[in-house]
Structure formats: structure tokens, C-alpha cells
Chains A and B, each alone.
Chain A
Amino acid sequence: MPKERTVASKLANAVILIALEVTALVLLVNNGKMQQIWMMRVSHGFAAKTWGVSQDISNYFSLKKQNDELASENHRLEALVRDYRQTLESSDKSLEPVLADDGFLYTPAKVIKSGTNSQHNYLILDKGRNDGISENSGIITSKGVIGIVDAVSDHYSYAISFLNTEVSISSRLGESGTVGPLSWDGMNPDGALLKEISLQYKFAPGDTVYTSGYSVLFPPDIPLGTAGEARIINGATNEIKIKLFQNHSAVKYVTIVRNTRAAEIQEIEEGPQEKEGNKK
């Protein structure tokens, strides 16, 4: 009995406390402008958090349905990819070249042969002169630059792979960063070195490297890899290790890009030089 009385009295005290505190709080909120705004903010924050939590719970319980939908979508896309692949493999003229607004002609091709084990690697592609391919065309994928076409026959192309210590491509660090030559590090099929980056230029590990667009061989803004460690060369420039997005040992399908305006650019480049020559 006394125990019950103690519990009841504690409960009564708690009720009185809450009642008095609520009364005091109401008085405070009604009489203090700052306190009113504060309470509104607190109550809105609490409401937002409560709704957020309930939304999270609801999302959790709908995960199974979303998984089923994703699995079904995945199955449909896999079937679609299979169909396209069959079309590509069964037809020599699988996909027609596409001329984009930037003046580059994009021709899909298949890698017939490639090497990654020497310091001067090469590729042979299943597209040649009859498909409109010419020397000095770039080879790309959605994950980076693969190489440069060096020689063509009627049906095949011979290309120097990016995994070649003599090849370097003009690259830009970050969306609007500084430009420098990117070349293979000579060791890993997914490793490269970005050189001649000015010491003043600040970058962070993980920044993306893109094609600069300054070369006539490759269109701009193709993502190539991410920046890693850097070291200072001769106290003048940074040399940055790049982890390439494209693993060159697993390339099967590529796109050959040919700049249809390359001749025009070359002509305008050579024009002033010739004029200077004539003056002399």
C-alpha cells in the first residue's frame, strides 16, 4: 500500500511538473518574441525530423518492391544488350558512322588483336580504308582514350596503343583546370602520368582528368581517370599519378574518331608560318 502511494505520488508530481512547465512555456512563448521564434523553429525542426524518419521507414519497407522492379528492368536491358551484340557480331557493317556537331566522325569498331605486355603495344581493329578510316584518327571508349590509328588497309587498321611510352595526349585536370601531356606510366595497364602541371595549380587527389580538346585527334571532355599522388619535377612542375578509368587489358569494342576539320585547322595553323617564310 505505501509503495502504491509512493508510485501514485511520483506520478502526480510528474503530472504537476509537466502542467506547470507547459504553463510557464506558454507564458514565455506568448510574452517573448525571440522565444516565440525559437519555439517555432524547434517545433518545425522536430516535425521535419519526424516526417523524415517516417519517410525512411516507409522507403525501407518498399525496398523489396523496388528490388523486384530493378531486377525486372535489369533483365529487360540485358536482353536488349544481347540483341545489339548479336547484331554487331553478325554484320560487318554493324553500325554506320555518325558525324557529330563537333566535326568528329564516330565509327564503332571491334578490337581484333591487342597487346599489353610490351613497352610499345599496338591494336588491330576490324575497320579499314573501305569504312572511311584514315591514319591519325583517335580511338576512344566511354572510359578513355585507347590509341591512335597509325596505318590502314582496306579492311583493317593498325593502331598504336595508349600503352606505349611514345604516346602522349593533351589532357586537362578538372573541369576547367590546367592542361598537360598524359602518357602511360610504362607499368600498369590502368596507370598513367600527367606531366608539366604548374606548381601554382591546386588540385586534390580524386580530381578527374579529361581530354583537353586542344589536339585534333580527340574530342574534348572525355573522362580519362582520377588524380592520385604527385611529385615535384626539377622544382618546377608537378607530375601526377593518374588511375585510368579504362582497363586496357579488357577492351573489345571501341570507337574510331576522325576529325573532319583537321585539314582546315592544319591549314590555318600553317598559313601564318608560310607567310613569315615568304617574308624572309
Chain B
Amino acid sequence: MKDNHTLTYILFVVAQMILCNYFHFTPFVMLTILPVLVFLLPVRHGTASAMLIAFATGFAVDYFAEGTLGINALSLVPVAFVRRALIETICGSEPFEHKEDITIRKYGFAKILLAVIIVQSLFLAIYTVADCAGTRPLWFILARFGASLLASVLVSMLIVKPLTNVDRR
């Protein structure tokens, strides 16, 4: 079970690298699934280990994909930092008490969607500001943030099921 999740996680990280390398549709959209990968890490990972995983994941994507080294790591670590508090706020403390991972079947589509929107927003806010580095106007930053959020939430919701089904098997 543990190995299955690790393998799936690595596959999705590779998928993200491919996305970064080959799928440049428009400068207004940055497609990412990294925040949802970190958010749906098994609950046995505490905040510290989640942050280290997030940093390593972000660094790997930065290193192997086209991008500025450090930008994904910078944006992903805060997602791992707020992960536990976010799960407790949206799903309650049950996942940690019973060591049960989060699934759509148990907590419902709406709660997972809300959590995905929040983590994507946090990630994209940091990513967009750092990527634009004070060279773009505010309207561009806001437009890019909005379009990226919409696209990334849609793609993220598609991978929630395969990610969470791993643990049930």
C-alpha cells in the first residue's frame, strides 16, 4: 500500500515535469498538480516530513523541467505547512485520530474541492508573484492567477480519485 502510493506519487511528479516541459498553452495558464499531491500525502506524514517531501518534489520539478530553480519549492513548502490545519478545518481531526487518508468517498466531493481550491490558490499566489518578479502589471498577475487556478483545479480534481484509491486497494 505504502509502495503503491509512493509509485503513484512519483508518476504524477513525472507527469508534472512533462506538463511543465511540453504543455505551454498560453502565458496566462500555469498548469500544476503539485499542491494536490502534497495535500493528499498519507496522514502518517507529519508537517515536517510533508514540508521536506514538498521541498524535494518542487526541487526535482524545477531541476528536471523548464523553470527557475527554487520556484516550485518556494511555492510548495507553504502548502505542506498549512496541510494539517486545513485538513482539521475541513475534515475534522478524524483522519489523524484514525490514521485514515482523505478520500472523496468518505468526505464528499465538495469538501475535497474546497481544499483543492485553497491549496491551489496558496501555491499559485506565491508562484505567480515570484515568476512575474515585479515585471508584470497587476492585471496580468491577477488574470494569470485566475486562469491558472481554474485550469489547475480542474486537472487536480481528475487525479484526486486515482491518488486516493491507491490506499483502499
Contact = CB atoms under 8 A, between A and B. Distances in A.
Contacts, number: 72
B133 A20 contact: no
A37 B133 contact: yes
Given A24-B58, A27-B73, A32-B68, A12 B48 contact: yes
Contacts of A16: 48, 51-52
A132 B73 CA distance: 89
B78 interface: yes
B74 A28 contact: yes
Contacts of A26: 70
A25 B78 CA distance: 13
Interface string A154-171: 000000000000000000
Given A16-B51, A17-B51, A35 B77 contact: no
A32 B71 contact: yes
Q: How large is the interface on B (under 10, 10 to 19, 20 to 34, 35 or more residues)?
A: 20 to 34
Contact of A17 (B68, B70, B78, B135): B78
A24 B70 contact: yes
B77 A21 contact: yes
Interface residues of A, number: 23
A42 B62 CA distance: 24
B51 A13 contact: yes
Contacts of B73: 20, 23-24, 27
A46 interface: no
B50 to A, nearest CB: 10
Contact of A38 (B70, B81, B134): B134
B26 to A, nearest CB: 20
A12 B134 CA distance: 32
A21 B133 CA distance: 16
Nearest to B73: A24
B135 A34 contact: yes
B74 A21 contact: yes
B130 A35 contact: yes
Interface string B38-72: 00000000111001100100110010000011110
Tell me which of A21, A23, A24, A32 has the highest count of chain B C-beta atoms within 10 A of its own C-beta: A24
Q: Which secondary structure characterizes the binding site on chain A?
A: helix
A28 B51 contact: no
A31 interface: yes
A41 interface: yes
B107 to A, nearest CB: 24
Given A32-B133, A37-B133, A20 B55 contact: yes
Nearest to B81: A17
A242 to B, nearest CB: 44
Interface string A1-37: 0000000010011001100110111111111101101
A28 B71 contact: yes
A28 B77 contact: no
A25 B74 contact: yes
A9 B85 CA distance: 14
Contact of B77 (A24, A32, A42): A24
B144 to A, nearest CB: 15
B69, B71, B74, B81 pick with most chain A CB within 10 angstroms: B74
Contacts of A35: 68, 71, 130, 133
A27 B135 contact: no
A160 B133 CA distance: 70
- Which 5 residue pairs of A and B lie closest in terms of their CB atoms, listed nearest first? A27-B70, A28-B70, A24-B74, A38-B133, A32-B68
Given A20-B52, A20-B77, 10 more contacts: A9-B46, A12-B48, A20-B55, A24-B59, A27-B62, A27-B73, A30-B69, A31-B68, A35-B71, A41-B134
29 contacts: A9-B48, A13-B81, A16-B48, A16-B51, A16-B52, A17-B51, A17-B77, A17-B78, A17-B81, A20-B77, A23-B70, A24-B55, A24-B59, A24-B71, A24-B74, A25-B74, A27-B59, A28-B70, A28-B74, A29-B70, A30-B69, A30-B70, A31-B70, A32-B69, A35-B71, A35-B130, A35-B133, A38-B134, A41-B134
